[in-house]
Structure 1
Amino acid sequence: MLPFFPGLLTGLSLIVAIGAQNAFVLRQGLTGRHVPPVILTCIAVDVTLILVGVAGIGTIAERAPLVLDLLRWGGVAYLTWFAVRSFRAAASPTGLDAGRASSAGRRSVISATLAVSLLNPHVYLDTMVMLGTIANQHGPVGRWAFAAGACVASVSWFTALGLGARKLSGRLSRPSTWRWIDASIGVVMLGLAAMLALGG
């Protein structure tokens, strides 16, 4: 189960970065309106994309190994860019602005959650291609332990953010908090890039 821990760390590193989805979950959590459905929707989308990505990249690896090698080097470039972006964000940190939470009904809130989760093209690159590529470096069996770690990261983060929003909002609004978060993400991304480059 050793690949579980890299999966957990990678999943958290990709998901914690400031984005529309996190801001939306935080906004809903601050008012306590429809929080469980929002959390469950985000988790369902994330876990589905992770599993599809790992399975899909695994199939490609078995049928067209050259494509996996191209994805690996593309992943090195992407992770390096992600690290640079994180270090730049750490140099000029901003807080996570919760804004004003929606007062819409449950169905509308779930629709909005799906929109912020699925209409961002980066979610497919991060969750499906990137996690799938890294997971498959651990072999046919290890990739699923890696995927399990990434899924646990998703469940843990969205649950903590949604249910702990009122307590977390003060800290997440501080630029100093995000300076450390972004710097840490940058270090992790560089480490993952090195791991991919070495084929490990």
Structure 2
Amino acid sequence: MSYLIPFCVGFALSASLIVAIGAQNLFLLRQGLKREHIGVIVLFCGLSDAILIIAGVSGMGAFLTAIPQVSTAFALGGALFLAWYGIKSLLRAKAQDSMTVLQGQPISLKKALATVAAFTWLNPHVYLDTVLLMGTAATAQPIALRPFFAAGAASASFLWFASLGYGARLLQPLFASPRSWQILDLLIGCIMLALAALLLWQGVLHTL
């Protein structure tokens, strides 16, 4: 039963990091409200987190720390993408025909995956939290038990993404009117632009 302790530690740490308002979570929430490609997006997010967690536990965090140019490149790319998506959300909120759950224009699976992939892999904070922090925390566990730590962390990610994606439908009555979607898109746009500015400052301008 000794594996339960590292499993629970990994689960708790991952849960504390992932339950936050971020670009990836907001996109998944929006897709969950629209009931579009939820299963595939949840699986993609969970597998991405699992890959990053395994990389961190395996020691890739030290490699990323040794090459700061990699983090700068990710910060620049992520900031530009977040700014583009934020402006797009604000323009969508401004439109008079802002969608309702049943009237919204669906997006293709390819576009949905491309968007969530950008939110996931162009965000330098995911490498800081998932790779560096999880990797550092894993070193406190005996080498033989680190796989259980990684399994617990990955389990928390899968559970959170599934809960957010499929649980969003409980909020569907709240988003039955165009006004609610306008407010959501306004909120998403502002958060995306704020995150873009933060990434630009922390990852690019702060290094000059």
Which TM-score bucket, shorter chain as reference?
0.5 to 0.7
Shift of 1:50: 0.5
For the structure 1 residues 168 and 144, does the alpha-carbon distance in structure 2 shift closer, same or farther, using more than 3 Å as the test? Answer: farther
Residue ranges of structure 1 left out of the alignment (5+ in a row): 61-66, 68-98, 174-200
Matched with 1:30 is 33
Paired amino acid for 1:108 = K
2:132 is matched with which residue: 129, 133, 142?
Answer: 129
Q: What is the CA–CA distance in structure 1 between the aligned matches of 2:56 and 2:154, rounded to whole Å?
A: 12
CA contact (8 A) 1:102 1:109 kept: no
Once the two structures are superposed, residues 20-69 of structure 1 have per-residue CA deviations (whole angstroms, 9 ceiling, x without a partner) of: 110000000001011111111111111101011101259x6xxxxxx9xx
Q: Percent identity?
A: 44
Matched, 1:145 2:158: no
Matches within 5 A, 1:38-187: 38-56=41-59, 103-167=106-170
Distance 1:140 1:36, change over 3 A: same
- Aligned CA-pair RMSD: 2.5
Contact 1:50 1:131 in 2 (8 A): yes
Q: Once the two structures are superposed, what CA deviation does each residue of 1:41-100 show, in whole Å capped at 9, x if it has no partner?
A: 111111101011101259x6xxxxxx9xxxxxxxxxxxxxxxxxxxxxxxxxxxxxxx87
Taking structure 2 as the reference length, what is the TM-score of the superposition? 0.59
Q: Is the Cα contact below 8 Å between 1:135 and 1:142 reproduced in 2?
A: no
Aligned length: 134
Q: 1:9 aligns with which of 5, 9, 12?
A: 12
Amino acid at match of 1:4: F
Task: Give, as a single letter, the amino acid of the residue that structure 2 aligns with 1:33.
Answer: E
Structure 1 residues 123 and 54 mapped into 2: Cα distance closer, same or farther (>3 Å)? Answer: same
What TM-score does the superposition give when structure 1 sets the normalisation length?
0.61
**Alignment-derived partner of residue 197 in structure 2:** none
> What residue ranges of structure 2 are gaps of 5+ in the alignment?
66-92, 94-98, 175-179, 181-208
- Report which of the two structures shows the higher radius of gyration computed on alpha carbons: 2
Greater than 4 Å deviation, 4+ residue runs: 99-102, 168-171
Structure-2 separation of matches of 1:170 and 1:6? 37
Q: Which residue of 1 aligns with 2:192?
A: none
Partners of 1:57 and 1:136 within 8 A in 2: no
Secondary structure at 2:42 match in 1? helix
CA distance in 2, matches of 1:31, 1:51: 32
Distance 1:113 1:170 in 2: 25
